[in-house]
Structure 1
């Protein structure tokens, strides 16, 4: 593969516009650019989660399958960014959505039914999985906003929705495998 970037700065965005893969120039706050940015943020947060999982996998070898399920997601998020930057480009497919659903079903069976709301904490890994989940929801909202302005084709919306579900269940399975009790939400006391 040849070089993708020979120069990191181009000065072409200094006036508040950026170029898309299809040649269009749009404002940097265009819904498409906002969606790309949120997907990029999610990918970065997922990278942090994966680094933490790798560090802990020696102590908790049963986290390895979490790494195996989540690692391809970084690549698919890059594909999603490509789809957003180049609307005619389609990289995601239903098989990837099915892969996420299979992992959700497998992990959900392991952790059991959710009996109460849980808070994002208990360990750094659990909290980071929840950061990724909330970043996925933010990316999904941005993609939905873009879809209302410029309809998206393909499975992008289903993928980002399913990924946020996967990350929620991943947080729960990480807690179980680390032997960390989930932090259950406690409603505020009602005034007397």
Structure 2
């Protein structure tokens, strides 16, 4: 096995373990047993489990960010739906990694993992504001969008774990949730939700 493949194998093993346990409860022996490698080989790639954890989350985040940047040139609502579909695609493909990523946001108090999780959330907020054509969001609008990203995270986590909601309904339902939240915000700050095109954001002309 090549060096790159062996490193990827260790990351995959870590993501599987981190999806069911807190990283502080995962040892080097746990990872080497799951990957079927020796401890000396593990330390040829990583200094310890914490470094492996950061690398594992980074691999999922890179995929998420890449997919967010591949949105089609379309109407704002369609672009938002495409963004949600992209997130769902990555979450499904890296199920264990996505679960670990979301849990890291509240369970693991380290600057490195916190920065990684924040990178995804901040990019998601930027994508939404771009698609809604909002260049100078007010504090209330920012709060609305940030709250919606938390709804998306929780919904995808529930979907991965329970599979009770059909995949094909996720993107439309979640975007409708955002539009409803923005509508409520607009009743408090109508001037804050007028796009540069002179129409309410996210609505078709």
Relative contact order higher in (CA < 8 Å, ≥ 6 apart): 1
More strand by share: 1
TM-score by length of 2: 0.29
TM-score by length of 1: 0.31
More helix by share: 2
